[in-house]
Structures are given as C-alpha cells and as structure tokens.
Amino acid sequence: MTNPLIILADHAASWRTRDLPTDVAHHARRVLVDWFAATLPGCSRAPATLMAEALEDETRGGGGAVCYVTGRRVPLRHAALVNGTASHTVEFDDIYRYAVYHPGCPTIAAALAAAQSHNTGMEALLRSIVAGYEVSCRIGVAVQPSHYDFWHTTGTVGTFGAAAAVAVLLDCDAERTAHAIATAATMAGGLQQAFRGEGMSKPLHPGHAAEAGALAAMAASRGMTGALDVLHGPAGFAAATSEDTGKWDKALAGIGKPYAVTDMTVKNHGCCGHIFAALDAVRDLHLEHGFKAEDVVSIAVGGYKATKDVCDRPDARTEQDCRFSTQFTVATMLLYGGVRLAAFEPARLVDPAVRALMPRISVAIDAECAAAFPSKRSAKVEIRLKDGRVLNRHQHTRKGDPDAPLTDRDLSDKFLELTSDAIGAAQAKALLAQLWEGSALPGIVPLVTNQARAAE
C-alpha cells in the first residue's frame, strides 16, 4: 500500500505555492469567520479563562501571537492552546460530518497563532487552513465510524490539522511536513468519556491538539523526525484508535476533489451537532402546526448511535451537560424558538417550563438513521399531542450542512450575534469586514467589560 502519510504531506506542502482558487479562498474565509464567531464568546467563560490563569506565569515574556482570552501577545503554543480551548466552549464550531470532527477549533487556533508569530499575510493563513483541513479531515474519514466509539475526533485528528497548517506557515517542504504529521500522531488524544459526564475537559481537547500539532511542526521544521508509517502501521494511529488499520483508499480518493474546506457544516444551534436534525424537525413541525408546549404528550426522537449514547441526558443540569442533552435542547427549542447562547444562562438551566417538558422527550436509535451515519446526520421525530394528533418528520439533513448551507449573510448574522456582546458591536462589525475582505491578519480584539457593554 502506498504510504498515506506521504500522500497527505505532499498535498499539504503543495499549498505553500499552488494556485489558491477563488472559491476555495472564500470557503477558507468562511471557516475563519465561523471560528471567531465560536471563539470570542468562549473567551470569557471557563475553561478558557481558567487555562489562561493557570498559564499566566509562563507568558510574562510576551510573544507574537494573540491570546484572545487575555488580549495579550503571547508565545505561539500558548495562543494555540488557550484560543483552541475557547473556540470549543460554546459549541458553535464547524463540523466535517464525514469524519465526525470539528476541524476549525484546533486547525485555525494553531494556524492563526503561527501566522501572527511569523507576521504572514492573510493569504498565507488561508493556504495553511486549507492544508490543515485537507490532512485532518481525510485522516478522520480513514478511522471512522469506529474511532468515535471511544475517541473525541477533534482532540485526536485535530492534532494533524494543526501540524499540517503550521508546517505550511513555517515553509516546511513535503519531507518535513511528513515528519510533522508523524510526530503529531503520537501526541494525539481525547477520550469520549471526558464529555459523557461532568467536567470541563472537552474544550481542552482541541486546545491540546492545536498546541501539540504546532509543536510537532515547529520541531519538524528544525529537523526532528517521526515514524513515517505511524498512520497505517500495525501499531499505528489507525490500528490503535479504530477497528482496522484505516480506510485509506476511501480517505484519499480524489484528494482535493472537493477540498474539505468547501464541504463544511456551519452550526446553526449552540449545542452538540448530534441533536441538530431533531431540533430542526421540532422547529419546523411547531411552525407548521402551531401547537404549544403544553399541548405535547410526548416527543420521541430516533437517531443514530451517537444521538443515543452522547445526547440522551434526561436529567441534565449543568451548562456542559445541557449542551449535550436532547431533552433540554428540544424543550428549549419548542419553548423559545432557538438554542443559542441565552439557552444556557443560569436562569434558563432551571427554567420550570423546560424542566416540565424534558421528561416527555425520549431518545432511541433508529435503524435507518444509524445506517446513514456519518455521511448523513438525520433524525425521525414523532410528536403526540393532547388533541390526538400525531406529527411525524424524517429530517434527512441539518440546516447548515453542505446540502442545506448557511449563506454568507446567515454566517455574518451568526458572527455578529455571537461576538457583539463579547467585543462590542462596533468592533464586531469592523472585525467581520476584515475577515471577509482584508489582506492583513486580525490582531488583538479586547473583550468588553460589563460597564462598557452596558454603555454601548
């Protein structure tokens, strides 16, 4: 078998100089806009704030990268770690559905920190993003769906995205890029159990992936080597984290056609993506039939394995737990018409109306939805009403998936909604314009204080 790592490294390194098609560059800007939309509201929340505090003594010397949590210039790896953690905190980050993976969090966190540290322009950053998405998304495809039984793909596969992206920005040739990817493999980690219960570890997964991948690329740029058979070898990454040594023919088929960055899901709800199809179905049925929450006898959600294993949380209480609860988010959608940042404010977590509806919502595995996973993220919803009506919807895809995409306007609206409270409306508009059209890298965008927010 041809070594998949060598193929991926050659492809990644080519993005230093190859033609950057206009549409690919535009999609790279889309994921960059979306990354900031997810990251900035996470910068004032734990665990990113706690990580910044824990590392404060290590960053007094300054650096060239921006930590968006503290608004200070810091070393590359510090920015990658803390920003990567912040980007996954409010669960609005992008998805590559075929790999069950959020590529933006680790890839862009590392790439942006490297670009800022080395003072590159926007085009170099966009090239590195495309390369990082290409490498990591394809490795994700090779190990799914069994990888997701135990591993959090964004923490594991994300390490490769960060390594490839930073390697491009450090002008590594194909050989050194291969060693960056190889070294990244042995530092990849992130367990499912970290988010099946309580705790703050999940957002740390992409932060760690961003830092580890950046370190692997920095070391490779100086000549450090890795095991070049580490992806497909008998004791390598795929063998250790999936049911076989990798579906490499599938993962590498038609490499670059389409580019992974052009085939992304943009989140339309602030919770786990495994719930989205059910949320869309409930929203549409509610709009079409005009019933109220008090009219509902029961809501039955049928999904795929992860819908049940990860998101069947009938008594979720904490913010983290509620973001992964089908019961909490479906009840919130029905009562409030959306699942956005406000859904997880302290008062809403204990809302009596939400709590009253949650026990009437059940989750099960549906064979048809399970068979379609991961290429289709579907759900079947049945709503029984007190007047005897039974409403059904088979939601074949999610709003925001590539076959039902958010427009650029939708994405801009999402950005402004999520960031205006974090950095102020005027600064959010200015940053959005820069991300869509600018040739320079974004710099420091300080978080607004409560007083400034009230004044605005």
Structural domain containing residue 9: 4-262
DSSP string, 119-185: T--HHHHHHHHHHHHHHHHHHHHHHTTGGGGTB-HHHHTHHHHHHHHHHHHTT--HHHHHHHHHHHH
Per-residue pLDDT, 451? 42
Judge if 307 and 180 occupy the same domain.
no
Does residue 439 belong to any structural domain of this protein? no
Poorest-confidence range of 106-120, 130-144, 245-259, 381-395?
245-259
Pairing type for strands 361-365 and 72-74 reads unpaired
**Residue 73, SS3 per DSSP:** strand
288 lies in the same domain as 255: no
Q: What is the CA radius of gyration of the chain?
A: 21
pLDDT tens figures, 304-320: 999 999 999 999 999 99
H helical segments located in 55-121: 76-86, 104-117
CA distance 414 to 37: 7
* Chain segment 110-123, per-residue pLDDT in tens: 999 999 999 999 99
324-365, pLDDT tens digit by residue? 999 999 999 999 999 999 999 999 999 999 999 999 999 999
Supply the pLDDT for residue 258. 87
Domain boundary among 242, 262, 282: 262
In this model, does residue 296 exceed pLDDT 90? yes
Question: What pLDDT does residue 449 have?
Answer: 67
Question: How does pLDDT run across 185-214, given as a tens digit for each residue?
Answer: 999 999 999 998 888 999 999 999 999 999
pLDDT of res. 58:
78
Of 17, 85, 11, the C-alpha closest to 47 is: 85
* pLDDT, position 454: 46
Q: What is the CATH number of the domain that holds 132?
A: 1.10.4100.10
Q: Which of 230, 262, 294 is the last residue of a domain?
A: 262
Q: What is the Cα–Cα distance from 170 to 47, expressed in whole angstroms?
A: 30
Q: Is the model's pLDDT at 230 over the cut of 50?
A: yes
Task: Burial-class residue 282 by CB neighbours within 10 Å (0-12, 13-18, 19+).
Answer: buried
- Looking at the predicted structure, is the pLDDT value of residue 438 above 80? yes
Is 312 found in the same domain as 188? Answer: no
Same domain? For 162 and 108 the reply is yes
- End position of a domain, from candidates 212, 238, 262: 262
- Average pLDDT in the 428-432 region? 98
What's the pLDDT tens digit per position in 411-422?
999 999 999 999
pTM of structure: 0.96
Q: What percentage of the chain carries pLDDT values higher than 90? A: 94
Assigned token pair, 282: 């409930």
- The Cα–Cα gap between 377 and 379 comes to 7
Closest CA relative to residue 275, chosen from 173, 343, 185: 343
Q: Are 25 and 428 in contact (CB under 8 A)?
A: no
Average pLDDT, the chain: 96
| Number of domains comprising the chain | 2
> Cα(175)–Cα(228) distance, rounded to whole angstroms?
10
Q: What is the mean pLDDT of residues 238-267?
A: 95
DSSP state of 281: H
Give yes or no for a contact between 435 and 36, defined as CB atoms under 8 angstroms apart: yes
pLDDT at residue 60 is higher than 90: no
